[in-house]
Structure 1
Amino acid sequence: MEAVRKSSGTVGKALSVLDLVASFERPVRFNDVLEVSPYPKATLYRILQNLVTEGVLTFDREWQTYALGVRLVRLAHSAWTQSSLAPVARPHLTALSRATGETIHLAQLDGPHVLYLDKLDAKRRVNMFSEAGKVGPAYCTGVGKAMLAHLPPDELDRMLPQQSYHRFTPSTICSQQELTDELHQIREDGFALDREDHEPGIICVAVPVLSRTRQLMGAISVTSTSARTSLGKLKKFVPDLQDAATQVAAAAEYWRFPDNQGTPETMEI
């Protein structure tokens, strides 16, 4: 579980406690939250009660546990449909999934981390960490490295020291210099690879989703297992990935700024 930083202001404190409850990924008792909370007992109790009153948390009196509330589900659905790439990208991800037969991911950066926005499973489903809504490391995932490689230099300079560089597998990048070198290669190649960096047996190829002005919007990957295929075979999907990324970027720009652009079909990318 990642530590939740102490926030200032009423809203900041409430959101940090909400993040903390969510990080347990199960209903949690008050003392469990208190043990890892940056706030005093009375402050934490007051914040939790306010969150329950507002419907973003629920409280089970029998089990004395807090859990995320249904109001968050409504908010999450609205965010997914209004703010993320996922709705406009879905048709293109579906086409890519049919063409490759492998697992497809769509992601954006969430600070120094990766937020998975959508996932289409392979014909033969593979168990792996990534799921829509989950947050993962950027420095050792294909989508994460594809996005880091295309950040403006000042943003990248801020992001690199924030990576944990924890070793998940023997292939994991474990230093800022090693990551910097790989990002340079990714920019030259136009795609990123996951060589079982995050999970044993899981490999992928990923490309960034870039706007017409080369602004980073997200990343798409084709993911499989080393038991079923190879990185060499996955690399053959790079043209399909790049084509899908171009179409997603065009659709997203038209969706966000419909009055300033032509249709996605006529836009020059």
Structure 2
Amino acid sequence: MAAGSSDGTVAKALEALDLVAAFGRPVRFSDLLEHSPYPKATLYRLLQTLVSQGMLAYEADRGCYTMGIRLVRLAHVAWAQSSLAPIARPHLDRLSSEVGETVHLAQLDHAQVLYVDKRNAREPVHMYSQAGKVGPAYCTGVGKVMLAYLPDAQLPALLAQQSWHRFTDNTLTTPDALQAELATIRARGFAFDAEEHEPGIICVALPILSSRGGVLGALSVTSTTSRTSLDALEGLVPVISDIARTIAQEAETWRFPEEGAHPIRKKA
């Protein structure tokens, strides 16, 4: 669609919003301009529109932009209606209590992984993942297991959007290598992260699938090489599988939205 159309304006505003969010802190206009593809006047106009609509807030005393209260409200609604987190919360608590390790709940956000909830281990370990944070799909357990269960027609577009950055010596950095790994994952029903995203961090991950086989999300148990092994994590697959299946069943009752669906309860 041509620039200047309503869709083009909305897309630019959302890109500006993403840019502010990416800093993860209050950010000055000069910093945003340095990373923005838009000219100074265009970026300023987009930011002013977002502020006027409550999607951003401007702190005049510091000259910084932050997330707006309207955006926070919408985020809470989205979390409640379109996220697995409210459904999965008690089951994550149970899994965390049983295994004593870090538990992640994730969903695909286009070609990336969105961590929608997390439970820390009894002995917490510092790692990249946090609820609300976005991470790579091609080198995380939750990301790979969700990619493995997507329809074949969807996969090429998502692979084309991966960065293929080498985080560790174990990171898969080509589509061919990942596709071979995805075939193995689908055959056995679960994925590993064998220090592919962070050194010393390993996990086992299982998909959360609808009754039609659609990918709703993924569940993982994560630990470190200093206190466990991939073989030991594989031993947790039966309990993780049981909880993933329970979450999926409850999501079906809620009619969790797959493509084109709406998050409404089924009528009795």
How far apart in 1 are the matches of 2:33 and 2:91?
44
After the TM superposition, which residues 184-203 of structure 1 pair with which residues of structure 2 at under 5 Å, given as runs?
184-203=183-202
Specify the alignment match of 1:4 in structure 2: none
Residue type of the alignment partner of 2:74:
L
How far apart in 2 are the matches of 1:41 and 1:189?
52
- Which residue among 260, 263, 266 is the counterpart of 1:259? 266
How far apart in 1 are the matches of 2:203 and 2:34?
38
How far apart in 2 are the matches of 1:60 and 1:98?
42
- Whether contact under 8 Å (2:85, 2:117) holds in the other structure is yes
How far apart in 2 are the matches of 1:236 and 1:155?
31
How far apart in 2 are the matches of 1:102 and 1:230?
12
How far apart in 2 are the matches of 1:82 and 1:206?
24
Specify the alignment match of 1:42 in structure 2: 41
Residue deviations 1:209-247, cap 9 Å, x none? 001111111100000111111111111100011111100
- Whether contact under 8 Å (2:147, 2:155) holds in the other structure is yes
TM-score normalized with structure 1 length:
0.91
Specify the alignment match of 1:172 in structure 2: 171
Specify the alignment match of 1:135 in structure 2: 134
Residue deviations 1:157-188, cap 9 Å, x none? 22112211110011111111110110010011
How far apart in 2 are the matches of 1:230 and 1:30?
47
How far apart in 2 are the matches of 1:54 and 1:30?
18
Specify the alignment match of 1:13 in structure 2: 12
Residue deviations 1:86-132, cap 9 Å, x none? 10011111111111011110111111100111001111111111011
Specify the alignment match of 2:69 in structure 1: 70
SS at match of 2:145: helix
- Whether contact under 8 Å (2:254, 2:266) holds in the other structure is no
How far apart in 1 are the matches of 2:209 and 2:183?
17
1:259 shift after superposition: 2.7
After the TM superposition, which residues 1-269 of structure 1 pair with which residues of structure 2 at under 5 Å, given as runs?
8-256=7-255, 258-259=265-266
How far apart in 2 are the matches of 1:72 and 1:200?
35
Residue type of the alignment partner of 2:42:
T
1:76 shift after superposition: 1.1
1:8 shift after superposition: 5.0
How far apart in 2 are the matches of 1:35 and 1:233?
47
State, as a whole percentage, how many aligned pairs show the same letter: 59
1:41 shift after superposition: 1.3
Further displaced range: 52-61 or 202-211: 52-61
1:260 shift after superposition: 6.3
SS at match of 1:207: strand
TM-score normalized with structure 2 length:
0.92
Further displaced range: 108-117 or 10-19: 10-19
How far apart in 2 are the matches of 1:19 and 1:58?
14
How far apart in 2 are the matches of 1:260 and 1:194?
40
How many residue pairs get aligned? The number is 255
Further displaced range: 145-154 or 59-68: 59-68
1:258 shift after superposition: 4.0
SS at match of 1:153: coil
Further displaced range: 248-257 or 132-141: 248-257
Give ranges in structure 1 of 5+ residues lacking alignment: 1-6, 262-269
Q: Please, what is the CA RMSD of the aligned residues?
A: 1.4
Give ranges in structure 2 of 5+ residues lacking alignment: 1-5, 256-263
Specify the alignment match of 1:266 in structure 2: none
